[in-house]
Amino acid sequence: MNQKPDKDAPYKVSRKEIRALIDRYRVTDGKKFRLKDHDPGDTGGHQMSKGQAQDLLETGTATLAAHQEKLYAQDRWSMLCVFQAMDAAGKDGTIKHVMSGVNPQGVQVTSFKAPGPEDLDHDFLWRIWRALPERGRIGIFNRSHYEEVLVVRVHPKILDKQRLPTELVGKRIWKERLESIAAMEEYLARQGTVILKFFLHLSKDEQKKRFLARLDEPEKNWKFSASDLAERAYWDDYMTAYEETIAATATPEAPWFVVPADNKWFTRLVVVAAMNEALNRLDLAFPEVTNEQRAALAAARTKLESEH
């Protein structure tokens, strides 16, 4: 018998190693946060074949599905996962793969595009409140309130459209917005929302490769947008904005995960592991059946069985 090549053997990774990985990318205190300390190509020392990564991802999504059922049944906590990234970092693919096993009824995905007229008639968090997950549910934000301190900061012209009273628009506006966001998240955490924020950290080189692939491969052409290329020209401004944003809003109750995004298989594994770890900490359980309920169940059985 031929021995199986190594790449087909299951890739073994212990719980301890998984926890170490999550700790490696979790930011809970912005004081010393520097983006340059984070390598987009990092894989935490792990190398595996596509098939091995796929198997691990499946294990992760199955665990997530099991947690989600309990979250839903218990109906107390909710979980909000925010995804932010430069174009082509893999937000959509990560969301698709990580959530693939979860009951769609327990998940609410919202993609935040440029605000429309109704949004612009309100404060910037208005549309965010409306999209928050109900108790027992997982809310996924594909882009989020953070655009207000990222794209709006990089292109201050967008701010003009928001029609804020001029005396409220000064140098401090970004610091103030970051404070408002942090305050909102603290409040939500106190209300039982578990908040995880993922920055899919892509390198500029890898973005170029992915844009070129979108141009080269006909089936990827639809993904290419000239405006993505225009935003690439502001790369450094975005990186500065991300760094200040993460530094100002990373807290233990609403941590950022700076997830290396140059290797898609790795990004997905880290995201699913971080979600599972956060849910695991909640000690979720199906609601206990009380004696009264047990008696009602027995009565229901008797009634059903007496039917003819």
Under the rule (CB under 6 A), what is the footprint of ligand ATP? Answer: 87, 92, 112-115, 142-143, 147-148, 151-152, 158
Nearer to ligand ATP, 26 or 143 (CB): 143
Nearer to ligand ATP, 95 or 248 (CB): 95
To ligand ATP, the closest distance from the beta carbon of 161 in angstroms equals 8
Contacts of residues 156-159 at CB distance under 8 Å and 24 or more positions apart, as own/partner, are: 158/114
Q: Is there a contact between 93 and 223 (Cβ–Cβ < 8 Å)?
A: no
Report the distance separating Cα 69 and Cα 103, nearest Å. Answer: 8
Nearer to ligand ATP, 65 or 125 (CB): 125
Q: Is there a contact between 93 and 57 (Cβ–Cβ < 8 Å)?
A: no
DSSP per residue over 95-162, as a string? HHHHTTTS-GGGEEEEE--S--HHHHTS-TTHHHHHHPPPTT-EEEEES-GGGGGTHHHH-THHHHTT
Nearer to ligand ATP, 117 or 252 (CB): 117
To ligand ATP, the closest distance from the beta carbon of 142 in angstroms equals 6
To ligand ATP, the closest distance from the beta carbon of 150 in angstroms equals 7
Nearer to ligand ATP, 112 or 199 (CB): 112
* Closest residue to bound ligand ATP by CB: 147
Report the distance separating Cα 148 and Cα 125, nearest Å. Answer: 9
To ligand ATP, the closest distance from the beta carbon of 185 in angstroms equals 16
Report the distance separating Cα 62 and Cα 99, nearest Å. Answer: 10
Report the distance separating Cα 295 and Cα 301, nearest Å. Answer: 10
Nearer to ligand ATP, 55 or 228 (CB): 228
Handedness of CA 117, 153, 150, 186 (dihedral sign): negative
To ligand ATP, the closest distance from the beta carbon of 89 in angstroms equals 9
